[in-house]
C-alpha cells in the first residue's frame, strides 16, 4: 500500500468517525466515489474501532505497567492513586508539583504504545477533548510522553485533565435505587448542555459517563 493510498484511507476514516453509525454506509458511498477497495478498507477499520469501544470501555486483559504511588511522571506529576483501568489504559490521581494542585493523569497501556492505529486514536481523543470548553465537560490540560530512565520499559503516553472526584451514576443508582424525576432532571440538563457544547464543535460523543 502506498503512502498516498494510506493517507486517503485515514482521511475518509477520520471523517466517518464524526458521522452517526447509522449514516455511515451512505457517507462512505459518497466519500469513496465508487472506489470499492477504499470503502472496504475504511469499513474494516470502523468495525475494528467499534470492537475496542471507548478508552476505558473494557477491563485490561493484557500487559500493563501500573504506576506505583509516589512515582514522578515527566518531572512534574506525583502519583497518588490509581482511579480506574480499562481496555486501553489507566487513570491516576496525581499531584501537579509545579502548580501544587491535584489533577487526573490518563495513560495509554504500555503494550499498545507501538500500535500506530491505537496511538493515533489516543491522540485523536485528546484533540477532540481540547476543542470543547464547558462547565459540564472535563477539561484537558497537557499531553506528554514520559520515558523511564534506566529501564527497558516502553515510553508512557499520557495526558492530564481536570480531576473529578465522586461516583458514576450507575454506582449512585446501585446504592440508593432509582432516581426521582426531581433528582434526575438537573443531571439530564447538565448532560445535554455538555453534549451540545461537543456538537457545536462538530464532535459526536459515543460514550457518555457521569460522575456525581
Least Cα distance to 148 among 74, 63, 66 occurs for 74
Banded pLDDT at 3 (limits 50, 70, 90): low
Q: By three-state DSSP, how is residue 194 classified?
A: helix
3-state secondary structure of 211: strand
Task: Decide if domain 72-161 falls under CATH 3.40.630.30.
Answer: no
Helix (H) or strand (E) holding 83: strand 77-85
Q: Given its phi and psi angles, is residue 176 left (phi above 0), alpha (psi -120 to 50 degrees) or beta?
A: alpha
**Secondary structure of residue 60 in the 3-state scheme:** coil
Read off the pLDDT of residues 88-112 as tens digits, 9 standing for 90 and up. 778 999 999 999 999 999 988 766 6
Q: What is the pTM of this model?
A: 0.61
Catalytic residues: 207
Q: Is the separation of the CB atoms in 123 and 78 below 8 Å?
A: no
Q: Is the pLDDT of residue 168 over 90?
A: no
Would the pLDDT of 210 be above 60? no
The ranges assigned to domains in the chain are: 3-52, 72-161
According to the model, what pLDDT value does residue 182 have?
92
Amino acid at each position: 500500500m502506498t503512502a498516498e493510498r494510506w493517507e486517503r484511507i485515514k482521511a475518509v476514516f477520520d471523517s466517518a468517525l464524526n458521522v452517526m453509525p447509522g449514516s455511515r454506509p451512505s457517507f462512505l458511498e459518497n466519500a469513496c466515489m465508487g472506489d470499492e477497495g477504499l470503502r472496504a478498507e475504511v469499513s474494516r477499520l470502523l468495525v475494528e474501532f467499534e470492537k475496542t469501544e471507548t478508552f476505558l470501555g473494557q477491563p485490561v486483559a493484557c500487559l500493563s505497567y501500573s504506576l506505583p504511588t509516589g512515582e514522578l511522571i515527566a518531572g512534574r506529576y506525583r502519583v497518588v492513586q490509581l482511579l480506574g483501568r480499562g481496555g486501553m489504559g489507566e487513570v491516576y490521581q496525581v499531584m501537579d508539583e509545579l502548580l501544587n494542585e491535584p489533577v487526573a493523569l490518563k495513560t495509554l497501556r504500555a503494550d499498545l504504545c507501538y500500535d500506530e492505529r491505537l496511538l493515533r486514536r489516543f491522540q485523536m481523543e485528546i484533540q477532540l477533548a481540547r476543542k470543547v470548553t464547558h462547565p459540564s465537560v472535563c477539561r484537558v490540560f497537557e499531553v506528554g510522553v514520559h520515558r523511564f530512565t534506566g529501564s527497558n520499559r516502553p515510553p508512557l503516553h499520557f495526558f492530564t485533565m481536570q480531576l473529578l472526584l465522586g461516583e458514576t451514576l450507575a454506582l449512585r443508582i446501585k446504592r440508593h435505587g432509582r432516581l426521582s424525576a426531581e433528582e434526575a432532571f438537573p443531571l439530564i440538563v447538565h448532560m445535554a448542555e455538555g453534549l451540545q457544547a461537543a456538537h457545536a464543535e462538530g464532535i459526536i460523543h459515543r460514550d457518555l459517563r457521569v460522575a456525581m
